[in-house]
Amino acid sequence: MKLYVSFAARIRAMIDEGVLRPGEKVFSVRQASQQYGLSISTVLRSYLLLEQEGVISSHPQSGYYVTPRKRLQQKQGSPLAKDLNLSEVDASKLVLTTLKSIREFGTVPLGSPFPDPQLFPLKRIHQYEKALTDDGGEWGVLSDLPPGNEMLRQQIARRYLALGMHASPDDIVITHGATEAITLCLQAVAKPGDAIAMESPGYYALAHTVERLGMKVVEVRTDPTSGIALDALRAVCANVRIAAVILTTNFQNPLGFVMPPTKKQALVAFLAEQQIPLIEDDVYSELYFSEQAPLPAKAYDYSGMVLHCASFSKSLAPGYRVGWTSAGRYRGEVERLMFLSSLSLASAPQIAIAKFMQRDSYEQHLKQLRHTLRSNYILIRNVLEQSFPVGTEFSEPQGGYVIWVKLPPALDALQLYRAAIDNGITVAPGTIFSRTKEHTHYIRLNFSHLWTLAIEQAVREVGALACALLRSEKPKQVGRLNEPSAD
């Protein structure tokens, strides 16, 4: 056996045995040459072979990394998926199965709800966090207390002001991510047993949050290009006592739309008239593809009825779980609830993020992040158009990192989910985004991960699996999702 083939097999075995895990860096060419007594050209040929197989991928000026496709060649899929009963799927169980499959078996993360961590300057933020011990007097128990670190609240307020929105650091309460912000806002405006209006389809984690608090989810039809249907929302509010509305107006997950400004204004005005609070989940707001950031619904709030929630998890520091809310007239109650439930949020992550925003080029990071996500969207869209079966339609996200795929009605998304995971790939079936049976032939795909040959092959393979499930050999054609409604 040739030396480069033998060394490639050795690296492949390390990956299969978990010595090198998905996302981890492989030995540099020079390290491998010295450690294994091989010429640099032999190591390069080995890495080229592994890259062609989709086992590793090269990152310019960084080196080689294990791709998320560790076990795809073995076609073993994820054993975790074997326990799923596709006829009675529990959304939370399916999501957990997907995430465990990605973490433990290296399946391709097209079904992940999270952005690729490699997109973010985590090393730089971590350096600020480590250096805090040298910055005497900047943090302590008192600075941990709600509403949170003052320097960070100042930086967030400046982001609001940059959008032309009046904001004061005193309006902001720092939380453990956007989920806690939404949870606190719900507790501030509603009680167990109350009905909460939500988008359908919409992000499943929001519905889980509502139900965990003992509240009831009332789903409202949502247009794939302009957001929640106002006529349907009005009808719901006329027939059910709605305690609050939760929705995402910018780059909604899974649809990716931006609600038009006039519709945001009409929504806020209607809810203010009805004295119904709006909890706005705006975690994707910085991920726009256009030249200008869209305003949140909060920008049209003149009565303090909009509780705006966001975090840095999608734009700067995933894993740090630093979020916030600007809760309008409910701000004092949210701060009190934050104190009672969590007492405080650790200062170090808050200060580290604030210092990065203050001293480094946050705008430059965001510009590069948006460029990468937009480029990835174009790439995945091209592959989807080439690979998926007749009658497939795609959303046209204006930001964020997910695309909503409408499959031919005869194709069951849960069957495609099982077929994909058996082949080492995850997708998110549409059934987890709604309580209704209207989205059984939809899937959501994540395009945030570094675009490699392995990722491209995975998307093509999902398309091939969809074609196989339909047993169709007809020419492929694609379309667009519905035009915007008149709301």
pLDDT digits (tens, 9 = 90+) for 293-339: 999 999 999 999 999 999 999 999 998 899 999 999 999 999 999 99
pLDDT in tens, 95-131: 888 888 877 777 889 999 999 988 999 889 988 888 8
Nearest to 304 by CA among 274, 272, 338: 272
Average pLDDT over every residue of 194-199: 98
Greatest mean pLDDT range, 20-24, 68-72, 169-173: 169-173
Greatest mean pLDDT range, 236-245, 433-442, 471-480: 236-245
- Assess whether pLDDT exceeds 90 at residue 139: no
Domain covering 122-359, topology: Aspartate Aminotransferase; domain 2 (3.40.640)
pLDDT in tens, 365-387: 999 999 999 999 999 999 999 99
Average pLDDT over every residue of 230-254: 98
Domain ranges for the chain? 3-66, 79-118+364-471, 122-359
Question: Please, which pLDDT band fits residue 89 given cuts at 50, 70 and 90?
Answer: low
Question: 307: which strand partners?
Answer: 279
Nearest to 393 by CA among 439, 431, 424: 439
User: How many whole angstroms separate alpha carbon 391 and alpha carbon 241?
Assistant: 40
CATH class name, domain 3-66: mainly alpha
- Assess whether pLDDT exceeds 80 at residue 343: no
Nearest to 221 by CA among 237, 213, 233, 235: 233
Q: What is the pLDDT of residue 437?
A: 76
**215 and 194 Cβ atoms separated by less than 8 Å:** yes
Amino acid at position 132, single letter: L
CB within 8 Å of 193: residues ≥ 6 apart: 214, 215, 216
Q: What is the pLDDT of residue 405?
A: 98
pLDDT in tens, 424-457: 899 999 999 998 878 999 999 999 998 988 899 9
- Of 25-29, 130-134, 168-172, least confident by mean pLDDT is 130-134
- Of 87-91, 415-419, 434-438, least confident by mean pLDDT is 87-91
- Of 31-35, 66-70, 237-241, least confident by mean pLDDT is 66-70
Q: What is the pLDDT of residue 53?
A: 78
Both tokens of residue 327? Answer: 């809760």
Specify burial of residue 355 (Cβ count, 10 A radius: 0-12, 13-18, 19+). Answer: buried
Average pLDDT over every residue of 197-209: 95
Average pLDDT over every residue of 162-186: 95
Q: What is the pLDDT of residue 90?
A: 74
Question: Please, which pLDDT band fits residue 1 given cuts at 50, 70 and 90?
Answer: low
- Assess whether pLDDT exceeds 50 at residue 286: yes
Average pLDDT over every residue of 2-14: 82
User: How many whole angstroms separate alpha carbon 389 and alpha carbon 473?
Assistant: 9
Superfamily for the 79-118+364-471 domain: Aspartate Aminotransferase, domain 1 (3.90.1150.10)
Q: What is the pLDDT of residue 203?
A: 94
Average pLDDT, the chain: 88
CB within 8 Å of 19: residues ≥ 6 apart: none
Indicate the length of the chain as a whole number.
Answer: 487
Average pLDDT over every residue of 254-266: 97
Q: What is the pLDDT of residue 476?
A: 45
- Assess whether pLDDT exceeds 90 at residue 21: no
Residues of the chain above pLDDT 70, percent: 88
- Assess whether pLDDT exceeds 60 at residue 485: no
What's the 3-state SS for 360-396?
A: CCHHHHHHHHHHHHHHHHHHHHHHHHHHCCCCEEECC
